Every structure is written in structure tokens, then in C-alpha cells.
């Protein structure tokens, strides 16, 4: 999943009698900021969610140190989900965010001046359609006429579209209920809905805690499930160097996670109220890394999602995804 770059090595400068360790490399593995690095940016406002890749970046402090060395203060602003985070991006309260495939589509349709900065590799195993343990439903075709709950505009919204299409059903063949994950979990457990379309770690928690059964995963539905890093058009135009530094630190953090899943789970588990074991299993369903600019196939996949939602009249106009892709 990663377009990986390796963590900077420690350098030593030979002097007449000894070697002096350069303090530019941080113990956390962050890349050094060159002495000539300059930026006019004074603050970098990052939107983040508990349990996310950016939550790990925040906890380890890499980005704060890297940008701090260039005189930039990092401000972390928490959001509950991707759609709310992109609303923050739209109104100018944050400069950077990481969300799934669908929130940027709805945000662009609403007129948000966003740009796709980079993407992580696909993670189809990190989203699922679940049914209760005792449900008689064995296939997606049996969802016809049933109540299905999901978070509107989230990455799993497209999973439902694709899953239904592969089963020969239309979106209108199911009764869709829109609820955020905590409320959806309550409705799912109480039997008020027949299925829940949800991403990890919420999906893995439902499987591990209440025995929920996976009806269909992202891979079976044929979805990619990319995560995207986004910024605003003005910030990307005025401060491209800050975005590049941030992406370097995300690479560093991703490399660390892939060799320290247990330690990463220890960071995230208390945030989301899950056991370390469930959190670690969820982490292994994602990919880590960052690629920019977006490749043609990634843009085409995102365009297909936008076209699908426009076809269902869930967004009011056809979008041109390529027109809002950052070109550093």
C-alpha cells in the first residue's frame, strides 16, 4: 500500500578526535528539516479522528517536531467522522484532513474548495456489511426490503452501492437508515436494523464483542477503499512545502506502524475504548503509506464513485475529480 520512503539515517561528522551526532534527526525517526528550509506558514491545522493513522502521528509527535523546527505550529482539531471533518475544511477551520473515498465526493458536490493531496493504498478488507449473529440472512440478495444502517457520505456508502449492484439489487431495494457509528451500533444491537455497513475498527469491534457476522467485505464487493489526504485550494497553493513535510512524516509513521502493530494498538485502543487485540486486528486491515500526486487509476476510481452517486441523485451534479487534484 505504501509508496515508501525510508526513515533518515543517523549521520556522524568526523572531527579530528571524535564524531559528533547531528541532532537534526529525531529519536522518533522523523526526517530532519534542512537548515535552509523556509516557509511563510505560521500554523498548520490538522483534522483528525480517534483511531486513525493521524491519531498515531499526533501521539508520536513527529509532525509537531518536524514543522516546529521550521517555525510552524501544528494545531490538532478532533472530528467524529469524515463528512464533519470536510465541513471543517470547507469553512476554513482546518488545513489538512484524512478521510475515505466518499466524503470528498459529497464535499466537492457541495462546493468545497478542496484538493486531493495524496492517497494511501487501497484497504478493501477494512469495511464490511454486517448482520447480527443470529440473523437468517446469508447473502446480500436477502437484504431486499430490509433496513440497512450506515453513516451517510462515508466510505461505506459506496460499499453498499457496489454490494447491492453485484447482487442484482438497486439502492432503492433496501431501506437505508443514516446514523453515525455509535448510534448505528445501538440500532444494530437492538434489532432495529437488519444490517450495518461499517468500517474498522467499528466493524471488528462488533465482530469481536457481539458476534456480528460479515455478510460481505469490501474485496467481495469490488471496492478499493482508499483513504485520501486533502487540503484547501488556498493552502496547497500558498504552502506546498508544508504539505510535503507532512506527507514525509506520514510515510515515517506508516513504516513504524507496519513493524509495530502491537505498539500502535496500545496508542489507539484507549482512544476508541476497545481492547488492544481488537484494535490490532483492525489496524492490520489497513494499508500504510502515502502516494502523491494521485495516479490516473486512483482518479478514475474516485470519478466512478462520484458518477455513481450522481446517477442515484444523491449528489446534484456531475463532478470532475481530476480538476481538484493537487499538482505539486
pLDDT of 36 higher than 90: no
Closest residue by Cα to residue 191 from 146, 221, 248, 243: 146
| Per-residue confidence (pLDDT) for residue 19, from 0 to 100 | 31
pLDDT digits (tens, 9 = 90+) for 214-228: 999 999 999 999 999
Q: Cα 187–189–193 angle (5° rounding)?
A: 45
pLDDT digits (tens, 9 = 90+) for 285-314: 998 989 999 999 999 999 999 999 999 999
Residue 43 forms beta bridges with which residues? 73
Please compute the mean of the pLDDT values over residues 116-145 and round it to a whole number.
Answer: 97
pLDDT of 32 higher than 90: no
Beta-strand runs (E) in 36-72: 43-48
Reading the block at residue 93, the C-alpha cell is 477551520
Closest residue by Cα to residue 307 from 318, 323, 297, 298: 318
Task: Tell me whether strands 73-78 and 43-48 are parallel, antiparallel or unpaired.
Answer: parallel
Share of the chain above pLDDT 90, in %: 83
311 CB-near residues (< 8 Å, 6+ apart)? none
Q: How many CA atoms lie within 13 A of 125 on its CB side?
A: 9
pLDDT digits (tens, 9 = 90+) for 147-204: 999 998 888 999 999 999 999 999 999 999 999 999 999 999 999 999 999 999 999 9
Going from the N-terminus, what domains does the chain have, and what CATH number goes with each? Answer: 12-123+226-324 (3.40.190.10), 124-221 (3.40.190.10)
pLDDT of 34 higher than 50: no
Closest residue by Cα to residue 129 from 184, 83, 52: 184
pLDDT of 71 higher than 90: yes
Of 5-9, 30-34, 208-212, 285-289, which gets the smallest average pLDDT? Answer: 5-9
| Per-residue confidence (pLDDT) for residue 5, from 0 to 100 | 37
pLDDT of 80 higher than 90: no
pLDDT tier, 37 (very low <50, low <70, confident <90, very high otherwise): low
| Per-residue confidence (pLDDT) for residue 249, from 0 to 100 | 97
Closest residue by Cα to residue 196 from 294, 102, 204, 266: 204
| Per-residue confidence (pLDDT) for residue 18, from 0 to 100 | 31
Please compute the mean of the pLDDT values over residues 251-261 and round it to a whole number.
Answer: 96
pLDDT tier, 207 (very low <50, low <70, confident <90, very high otherwise): very high
186 CB-near residues (< 8 Å, 6+ apart)? none
| Owner of C-alpha cell 535552509 | 36
Amino acid at each position: 500500500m505504501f509508496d515508501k520512503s525510508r526513515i533518515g539515517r543517523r549521520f556522524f561528522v568526523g572531527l579530528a578526535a571524535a564524531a559528533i551526532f547531528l541532532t537534526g534527526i529525531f529519536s522518533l525517526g522523523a526526517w530532519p528539516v534542512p537548515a535552509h528550509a523556509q516557509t511563510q506558514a505560521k500554523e498548520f491545522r490538522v483534522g483528525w479522528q480517534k483511531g486513525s493513522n493521524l491519531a498515531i502521528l499526533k501521539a508520536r509527535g513527529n509532525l509537531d517536531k518536524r514543522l516546529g523546527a521550521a517555525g510552524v505550529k501544528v494545531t490538532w482539531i478532533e472530528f467524529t467522522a469524515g463528512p464533519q471533518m470536510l465541513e471543517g475544511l470547507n469553512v476554513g477551520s482546518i488545513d489538512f484532513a484524512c478521510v475515505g473515498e466518499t466524503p470528498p465526493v459529497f464535499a466537492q458536490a457541495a462546493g468545497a474548495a478542496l484538493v486531493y493531496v495524496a492517497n494511501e493504498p487501497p484497504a478493501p478488507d477494512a469495511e464490511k456489511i454486517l448482520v447480527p449473529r443470529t440473523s437468517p440472512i446469508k447473502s446480500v440478495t436477502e437484504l431486499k426490503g430490509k433496513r440497512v444502517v450506515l453513516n451517510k457520505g462515508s466510505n461505506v456508502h459506496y460499499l453498499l452501492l457496489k454490494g447491492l449492484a453485484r447482487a442484482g439489487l438497486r439502492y432503492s431495494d433496501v431501506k437505508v437508515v443514516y446514523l453515525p457509528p455509535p448510534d448505528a451500533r445501538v440500532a444494530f444491537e437492538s434489532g432495529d436494523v437488519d444490517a450495518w455497513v461499517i468500517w474498522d475498527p467499528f466493524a471488528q469491534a462488533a465482530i469481536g464483542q457481539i458476534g456480528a457476522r460479515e455478510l460481505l467485505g469490501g474485496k467481495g464487493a469490488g471496492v478499493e477503499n482508499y483513504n485520501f489526504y486533502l487540503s484547501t485550494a488556498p493552502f496547497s497553493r500558498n504552502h506546498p512545502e508544508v504539505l510535503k513535510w507532512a506527507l514525509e512524516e506520514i510515510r515515517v509513521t506508516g513504516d513504524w506502524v507496519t513493524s509495530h502493530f502491537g505498539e500502535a494498538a496500545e496508542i489507539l485502543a484507549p482512544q476508541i475504548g476497545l481492547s488492544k487485540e481488537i484494535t490490532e486486528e483492525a489496524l492490520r486491515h489497513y494499508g500504510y503509506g502515502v502516494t502523491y500526486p494521485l495516479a490516473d487509476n486512483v482518479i478514475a476510481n474516485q470519478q466512478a464513485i462520484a458518477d455513481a452517486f450522481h446517477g442515484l441523485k444523491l449528489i446534484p451534479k456531475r463532478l470532475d475529480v481530476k480538476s481538484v487534484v493537487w499538482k505539486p
